Amino acid sequence: MTVSHDHTDHNKAELVKNVKKVVKGPGAYDIEGVTIFGFSTFHDDKKGLDRGKNTIYAIEIDGVRIVHLGDLGHKLDENILEEIGTTDILMIPVGGVYTIGPGEASEVVREIEPSIVIPMHYFMEGMDEKMFGKLSKVDDFLSELSLGCERLDKLSLKKSDLTNEQKVVVLATQELAG
């Protein structure tokens, strides 16, 4: 399990059962054949003054490189883009307010050029309007990006399934197990 930042809504690893290892912060980790690299970024566009630090994780498993941007709050500079490297699957916040919004997220996707883009951290029907109503919807991001989109319950793939054609995969929400 990775923890991108130390806000109480993102760092409760102890609530998840059967976690073998919790990865927190920048560095290189090797856990049972899974390689994880953490890169230091910020949760805002003021070098962390408003919301603190954020860690981007690049996870390599069975030849597939998955990059999770956490609660990224700014565009990426050349150094971080180079560290991230070739990316098969990019998990990217798109909702704005607490993270980058649809426009910035689409720029990041164009810079990283992943095969698959999985948007996250956006407003969905059923969420508390008072708390989350200012977040952009996933469709705002999709209209900025203009890529093909699939809406799936889950995504399972192997390296040979990846193509040069970019696409967005919007994953359905899942009920939490009691």
Q: What is the model's pLDDT at position 66?
A: 97
Backbone angles phi, psi at 148, to 5 degrees: -60, 150
Kindly report, residue by residue over 153-176, the tens digit of the pLDDT.
999 999 999 988 999 999 998 664
DSSP readout, 44-112? SSSTTTTT-EEEEEEEEETTEEEEE-TT--SPPPHHHHHHH-S-SEEEEE-S-TTS--HHHHHHHHHHH
CATH number of this structure's domain 26-171, picked from the four choices 3.50.4.10, 3.60.15.10, 3.40.50.720, 1.10.220.110: 3.60.15.10
Residue 7: the pLDDT is 47
Spatial CA neighbour of 37 closest among 59, 6, 66 = 59
Mean pLDDT of the chain: 87
Burial category of 90 from C-beta neighbours within 10 Å (exposed 0-12, middle 13-18, buried 19 and up): buried
pLDDT number for residue 5: 54
As a whole number, mean pLDDT of residues 42-69 equals: 89
| Nearest to 143, CA basis, from 165, 124, 118, 168 | 168
Domain ranges in the chain?
26-171
Beta strand 89-93 with 64-68 is parallel
Is the pLDDT assigned to residue 80 strictly greater than 50?
yes
